[in-house]
Amino acid sequence: MYLWIKAFHLVAMVTWFAALFYLPRLFVYHAMARDKGDTLAMEYFTVMERKLFRGIMTPSMIAVIALGAWLLFMAPGFLSQGWLHTKLLLVLLLVGYHHMCLAHMKRLAAGTCTKTHTYFRWFNEAPVVALILIVILAMVKPY
């Protein structure tokens, strides 16, 4: 049973990260459309962002956390290992990033966001770093 849960945990993780990579990219395009005054494109991006966040990103995050907790319940010995503490901290930071995406999405939709498309290009890099570190920690278990 453990391997099945782990497999679904990985599927949910891949889905969550796909959304974490794509939503900020939509913010880049949204900010560029805002700068051009293209209201039709801005409305289009607002809908895309909302559907991605509500329909894929948030359910995937919930699945990652629930399945990860289930795995820890089944193998509590991992809780004594340092690599897992670091991985859990990174997941907690990703949950914060997820909620930062929500705040940016709401501001873009309301027309109150002042962040530039360049800011969002850099903002989009955080989950890449987290993914690399999380995969290394989970696979190599360095400490």
Those residues with Cβ within 8 angstroms of residue 64's Cβ, 6 or more apart along the chain or in another chain: 9, 12, 13, 16, 91
Those residues with Cβ within 8 angstroms of residue 41's Cβ, 6 or more apart along the chain or in another chain: 29, 30, 33
What percentage of the chain exceeds 70 in pLDDT?
100
Confidence of residue 2 (pLDDT cuts 50, 70, 90): very high
Q: Assess contact for 30 and 42: CB atoms under 8 A.
A: yes
| pLDDT at residue 60 in the model | 98
Confidence of residue 100 (pLDDT cuts 50, 70, 90): very high
Would you list which residues are annotated within the binding site for heme?
A: 9, 87
Q: Could you report the per-residue pLDDT of 69-86, keeping only the tens digit for each?
A: 999 999 999 999 999 999
pTM score above 0.85: yes
Would you list which residues are annotated within the binding site?
A: 9, 87
| pLDDT at residue 50 in the model | 98
Domain positions in the chain: 2-140
Q: Could you report the per-residue pLDDT of 24-60, keeping only the tens digit for each?
A: 999 999 999 999 999 999 999 999 999 999 999 999 9
Confidence of residue 21 (pLDDT cuts 50, 70, 90): very high
The first and second tokens of residue 107, run together, are: 């501001």
